[in-house]
Amino acid sequence: MDEMTLLEEFRAVVAPPDDVTLVRARARMLDGGAPARRGRAGRGAPGLRPPGRRGKLALTGLAAAASVAAVTVTLAAPGSGPSRQGAASPAVRELAYRAAAAAAAQPGVRPGQWVYWQEKAYSSPDSGPAPNETFEVWTTADATNAAYLSKGKVVFIPCGNCQFIGQPVIVHAENGDQISGMSGKATVSYAGLSSLPRDPVALDRHLAGLPLRGWGPAPVREFEVIKELLTTYVMPPALTAELFRALGNIPGVTADRNAIDVAGRHGIGFRIALPSDAGGGFDELILDPKTFGLMGEQLTLGRAAGAKAGQVVSGTAILKTALVSGPGILP
């Protein structure tokens, strides 16, 4: 072994950087820079033009927003639109990047890891009979298995070859346990998560192009896919972070600092307006204002759907969640 091989070994033992460090550095880079005009390259340092020939950098909303982000975050008033037509505001992006940093710091889990959920599901009376209760359910990170406790015994919820979208809702009634919720095929399978583009622009474009049960322009479809993934799977932290960054890049997404979930808790709501021909209103993901952990989701329909404008039609509040060693195990 010669000295170069020894040196390469010396280099190879270096531990890789943690995700949080990279997420913060990335956010700092994008928040601290400004759009640049392209110029001709010349001699000198690799990739740079020689001194004295630097082009002028034009300030745009991004550079101006960087100074806002460095001091404080000004959130859009509830119901207001984005600061620029066709683009999520810098304040929304900043919040999304904070959520990404928090997500990146979470531990990685394997697909079969069991997860405990304590949730409250809500449906408005106009939506028909539905439970409005707190319940407990256990699912695997890849959403292929689910179970609950009935009189102290673990009961597995059959799903065959499908998976659950979100978590099944459990109601313990006198005449038996009732299970509701969605199952079927998620827009992106757990196995398919690894093939999602890692570049935020490419990820945005990919998600916006996915078929969705429903309707809506590309930004709405993308928001719905991200919401589905975040509320269904417990994903690798880096991917969760990437999805939050993508969320912050969706045109039309707004943030409400005074969002209230169906359990009455205050959080930060990322919202997107729904098409008027589908009832209008907005769909919303709510995050904890301190930890940026996912608190829940809810749908608020507009007047066109027959509900009172601004009334929450349905939603789920995640009261507690934890990684556990198996179904029926409490954290």
Partner 1 sequence: MSHASQTARESSGTERGQPDDSGLIAESCRVPERFGAVFDRHAAAIHGYISRRLGRDAADDLVAETFLVAFRQRGGYDQDQPSARPWLYGIATRLISRRRREEVRFFRAIARTGIDPVADPVAEPVADESVRRADARTLHRRLAGALAGLSTADRDALLLIADGLSYQEAARALGVPAGTLSSRVARARRKLREGLGGVNPADEIGAWHG
Binding interface with partner 1 (CB under 8 A): 1-4, 6-17, 21-22, 24-26, 28-30, 32-39, 41, 44-49, 54-55, 57, 62, 198-202, 249
- Closer CB to partner 1, residue 41 or residue 322? 41
Round to whole Å and give the CA distance between 261 and 295.
8
Work out how close the CB of 18 gets to partner 1 at its nearest, in angstroms, rounded to a whole number: 9
CB of 157 vs partner 1, minimal distance in Å: 38
Largest Cα–Cα separation, the chain: 82
Q: How far is CA 214 from each of CA 84, 210, 316, rounded to the nearest angstrom?
A: 27, 11, 20
Within 10 Å of residue 323's Cβ, how many Cβ atoms? 15
Of the pair 69, 286, the CB lying nearest partner 1 is at: 69
Of the two residues 17 and 176, which places its CB atom closer to partner 1 in the complex? 17
Distance of closest approach, residue 44 Cβ to partner 1, in angstroms: 7
Min. distance of Cβ 255 from partner 1 in angstroms?
Answer: 18
Nearest-angstrom CA–CA distance, 42 and 30: 26
Question: Which phi and psi angles does 241 have, rounded to 5°?
Answer: -60, -45
For the CB of residue 86, give the shortest distance to partner 1 in the complex, in Å.
Answer: 13
Closer to partner 1 by Cβ: residue 169 or 208: 208
Beta-ladder partners of 1: none
Choice between 9 and 126, CB closer to partner 1 = 9
Taking the complex as a whole, the smallest distance from the CB of residue 53 to partner 1 amounts, in Å, to 8
Number of CB atoms found within 10 A of residue 82's CB: 18
Residue 227 structure tokens: 């919401």
Judged by CB, which is closer to partner 1: 6, or 322? 6
Closer to partner 1 by Cβ: residue 202 or 322: 202
In the complex, what is the shortest distance from the CB of residue 108 to partner 1, in angstroms, rounded to a whole number? 16
Q: Dig out the tokens for 15 from the structure.
A: 């531990």
Residues 6+ apart with CB under 8 A from 313: 123, 124, 126, 127, 281, 298, 299, 300, 301, 305, 307
| Identity of the residue, 141 or 250, whose beta carbon is nearer to partner 1 in the bound complex | 250
Nearer Cβ to partner 1 (64/330):
64
Q: How far is the CB of 24 from partner 1 (least distance, A)?
A: 7
Residues 6 or more apart whose CB falls under 8 angstroms from that of 210 comprise 187, 188, 221, 225
CA–CA distance, 73 with 217 (Å, rounded to integer):
28
Q: What are phi and psi of 5, to 5 degrees?
A: -65, -40
For 77-129, what is the HEC assignment? CCCCCCCECCECCHHHHHHHHHHHHHHHCCCCCCCCCEEEEEEEEEECHHHCC
**How far, in Å, are 89, 90, 317 from residue 249 at the CA level?**
8, 9, 25
